[in-house]
Amino acid sequence: MKKYHLLIPIIFLQLPSQLLAITPESLKKYPYQLLTNDYGILNEANLKRYTYEVNTEPFTGKFNGLDYWRCYKTKNVTVWYEKGYYDSDEKITHGSPYIRIKTNSTTTYDYVLRRAFSLNYAKNKVKKWQQLMKNQQFVCIGGIFVEKNIKIEDRKQITNYLWGFENLKTKKGCDSYFSGWCN
């Protein structure tokens, strides 16, 4: 009888991660929202969130207003904020946090928020992202694809993909543009 008492907590500790992890069944239910390997960071709820009350479709590289997850090596990720203008009506200095991923010498992915916030908000957002990525090998970022820009520099084609930020998640935790989207 004592053996069963020890076995039951072990089963319950493993059960939530198995239920929430992305499985082949999860990918069948939500086939479009994950564009890369998730490295064990995401769970089915993360994919489901991006399908709520919308008609999903495969990612085509064109703006469609849908959210998708992409995961990156954290060593390729840079986060920062920029100080904006002082708004005398709101009596705040605006700031904007940014995420840039440089996957190789000619390709970058930029994630931006939908609007500027206070400078303190931007600073705190960047601090939170840095904390979540510290000592992590991979990070997953969710967002809406906006556009692809190509330019030629030194006879090289430089490609930048612009995304609207929704979520940043590592094995340590999650941060979201919308309240409650990390739950």
pLDDT single digits (tens) 71-84: 999 999 999 999 99
Structure tokens at 10: 């072990």
Contact predicate 86/92, CB 8 Å? yes
Closest residue by Cα to residue 133 from 171, 166, 162, 101: 171
The ranges of the chain with pLDDT < 50 are: 4-19
Output the pTM of the full model. Answer: 0.86
Alpha carbon distances (Å) from 75 to 43, 134, 145: 23, 10, 22
* pLDDT tens figures, 110-138: 999 988 899 999 999 999 999 999 999 99
| pLDDT of res. 12 | 38
